Amino acid sequence: MRDQLELLWQLQVVEEQCRAIACRRESIKADKVRQLWQEIQLLSQNLSADKEKLECQRRVCAALESDLTKLIRQLCLLEERLYKNSSGSVRELEQLRIKQESLQREIHDREEEIFQLLENCEQLAERIANQETDLQNKKQRHSIGQRQIAQTVAKLDGEERGLREQQKSLRCRIDAGLLATYQTLNAKLAMPVAKVSQGVCSGCRRSIPTCQTCTRPGEIQFCDNCGRILFLE
């Protein structure tokens, strides 16, 4: 019976190790990886929006530059007329000068607008470059985090497979009746097998009567206090 109790104790140790592995698997810190993925998603959306905005601003800038070219051409033609008509009437010359001043103001305003838009494009392009660098860094960190979690889970799975094999082997070697008793107690008590060391039950820490420490062959002893199967060292 002592050999059977020894096997039962080993089975309990193995099953406790399996439970510990399950707890370790559940406690794997994946929160940071999930949060990082959310940051990647948000950053990708912002980056896409900024790129679209930059492209739109560049199109507007190109259109303004085209308009500016037309205005400058108009001004050149007007100044040419003004130069050629320098001997014309005062009224006609005054009208041409008014148009000239109007075009010059419009050209100046358009140049200011283009300059501001180019500056905005430059700032936006710089922000996009920084976002792309940040996104790449976050993706690398996310990949590393995922790989570490996968490695940890794979290691735990390997340990668990080894323990399950031991569990299966031990169950095959334990008497069916003793195993059934163990399983019944296991549904009610944590660690249903308790070692008796120096007359004390390891389950409830109560003293065991001397009469119980002298078991007869084939007899199973239970703790009178907690009901666990006693395994005398």
Given this model, what pLDDT does residue 87 score?
A: 59
Low-confidence ranges of the chain (pLDDT < 70): 85-88, 212-218, 233
Question: What integer pLDDT is reported at residue 105 of this predicted model?
Answer: 95
The region, left, alpha or beta by phi > 0 then psi within -120 to 50, assigned to residue 206 is beta
Cα 225 to Cα 185: distance, rounded to the nearest angstrom: 14
Q: What is the pTM of this model?
A: 0.64
pLDDT at residue 179, rounded to an integer: 95
Query: Cα 172 from chain centroid?
Result: 43
Please tell me the predicted confidence (pLDDT) of residue 86. 60
The full set of domains in the chain, from first to last, is 25-174 (1.10.287), 179-232 (no CATH)
Q: What is the pLDDT of residue 217?
A: 53
